[in-house]
Structures are given as C-alpha cells and as structure tokens.
C-alpha cells in the first residue's frame, strides 16, 4: 500500500483554476496534505506566477467552456499547454481539452468547441445506467509517469456520463471499463489529465497527484 509522502517539488507553486465549479476544496486539501503550496489563480494574466497548473471541476461541457471563454482562461490554457508547461486536468478538466462533446450538440448549426488541445470527441456512454459513479479499476501503460509506482489496476473514484475518445490513442495513459474500454487518462509531454478524481481516491489518488508534482 502506498504511504503518503511529501513531494520533492514541495517549493513549486501550484496554480489552481477556479471557474466556479465544485470539488475545488477537495483538490486544495489534497495538495495541502502533500505539502504542496497552492493558490487559486487570480485571472488568466496571472498564469506566469505559477510553475504548474491544475484544472479541476465538474459541470456541463458547454457551460464550462463558455465560462472559460468569458473569463479569458480558454486562451491562457491553450497558450500554456502549447508552451509544454506542466498542466493537470481533472474530470471536466480532461473533457474540455478535446475538440467537442456529445454533451454539447451544435446550436443553430454552430458547433460548441472545446479547447481543441487534444484531437477527438467526448462521447456519451452507450449503456442506460449513467452516470458511472464509484470506484473503478484503472489500467495504466507501463511508461506512464503519472501512474509511476502505483499498483496495476488501481481503483480511482469516478463520476461521469461521458468519456474521452482521442483520435490518436498514443496520448492515452490509462484505460477503464464501463460498457466499453475507454480513455481514463491522457499524457502528452508536460500535459496530463484524468477523468477520475484523484483528490477523492485516497492514497492512490494522492500518489498520482504527487507524481504530477515531481514529473
């Protein structure tokens, strides 16, 4: 069993994006347990004050995307990731990285665009029992730095009705099963994201957050 430790990158200042969603307190509490200094980012112009950024939260794809665009966070996130700076998306923070979502169909023929950082679509689970709520085994690729030193098939906490479907499976860092095998986490350079909630996943979740802090 993984035992909680303080990350080597304890001096790294973490910026947490607050666009009005929930679960932010859980993320801040998890970072505090790891001894990682973190603050809510006070606007997109403040990104440069941080060394790593975490984008957690939940909510509807279209509503969240509209909030990011109004606040200026959308462009700031795209530029941060394009510069290959450390970024971790959680739940909706993963889904918004994609081009579009079945949760947000076109309005009057005009598509609802995501951040477009990862080519692909967010799709609704085909089964009738949604959302998926609870713990699910997650299979990571051996080369994943996000899942380093975690037991094979570790259980993380999920709550979602839609899943990411990248065009290029090379970005998939881990998969899980719910009606079908789907992408549960992505990694590309300094970019990482997870559909599950590491901040609500006990010791394994803390270890994954620590891995992000020191990767």
What is the spatial distance between Cα 178 and Cα 180, in angstroms, rounded to a whole number?
5
Q: Is 81 exposed, middle or buried (0-12, 13-18, 19+ CB in 10 A)?
A: buried
Does residue 90 form part of some domain?
yes
What is the spatial distance between Cα 6 and Cα 210, in angstroms, rounded to a whole number?
8
CATH number reported for the structural domain that contains residue 69 in this entry: 3.40.50.880
Does residue 1 form part of some domain?
no
Instruction: Examine the residue annotation and report whether 91 is marked as an active-site residue of this protein.
Output: yes
Instruction: Examine the residue annotation and report whether 199 is marked as an active-site residue of this protein.
Output: yes
Each residue's pLDDT, cut to its tens digit, for the chain (215 residues) gives: 444 554 444 457 999 998 876 668 899 999 999 999 999 998 999 999 999 999 998 889 999 999 999 999 999 999 999 999 999 999 999 999 999 999 998 888 788 999 999 999 999 999 989 999 999 999 999 999 999 999 999 999 999 999 999 999 999 999 999 999 999 999 999 999 999 999 999 999 999 999 999 98
What is the pLDDT at residue 107?
82
Number of domains making up the chain:
1
Does residue 150 form part of some domain?
yes
What is the pLDDT at residue 58?
85
Does residue 9 form part of some domain?
no
Residue 183: which domain range? 14-214
> Catalytic residue among 60, 91, 102, 210, which?
91
Please indicate, yes or no, whether the overall pTM of this predicted structure exceeds 0.85.
yes
Does residue 8 form part of some domain?
no
Does residue 73 form part of some domain?
yes
> Catalytic residue among 160, 187, 197, 210, which?
197
Q: CA nearest 144: which of 74, 194, 93, 199?
A: 194
What is the spatial distance between Cα 114 and Cα 180, in angstroms, rounded to a whole number?
23
* Burial track 26-38 (b if 16+ CB lie within 10 A, e otherwise): bbbebbeebebeb
> Catalytic residue among 103, 187, 199, 210, which?
199
């Amino acid at each position: 069993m993984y035992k909680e430790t303080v990350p080597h990158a304890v001096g790294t200042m973490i910026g947490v994006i607050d666009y009005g969603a929930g679960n932010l307190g859980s993320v801040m509490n998890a970072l505090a347990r790891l001894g990682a200094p973190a603050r809510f980012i006070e606007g997109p112009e403040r990104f440069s004050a941080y060394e790593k950024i975490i984008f957690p939260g939940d909510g509807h794809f279209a509503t969240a995307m509209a909030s990011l665009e109004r606040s200026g966070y959308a462009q700031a996130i795209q530029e941060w990731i394009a510069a290959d700076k450390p970024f971790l998306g959680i739940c909706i923070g993963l889904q918004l990285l994609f081009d579009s979502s079945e949760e947000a169909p076109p309005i009057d023929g005009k598509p609802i665009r995501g951040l477009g950082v990862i080519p692909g679509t967010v799709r609704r689970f085909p089964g009738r029992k949604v959302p998926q709520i609870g713990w699910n085994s997650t299979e990571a690729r051996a080369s994943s730095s996000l899942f380093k030193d975690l037991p094979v098939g570790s259980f993380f906490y999920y709550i979602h009705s839609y899943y990411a479907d990248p065009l290029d499976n090379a970005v998939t860092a881990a998969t899980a099963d719910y009606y079908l095998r789907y992408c549960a986490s992505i990694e590309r350079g300094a970019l990482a994201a997870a559909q599950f909630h590491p901040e609500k996943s006990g010791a394994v979740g803390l270890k994954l957050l620590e891995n992000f802090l020191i990767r």
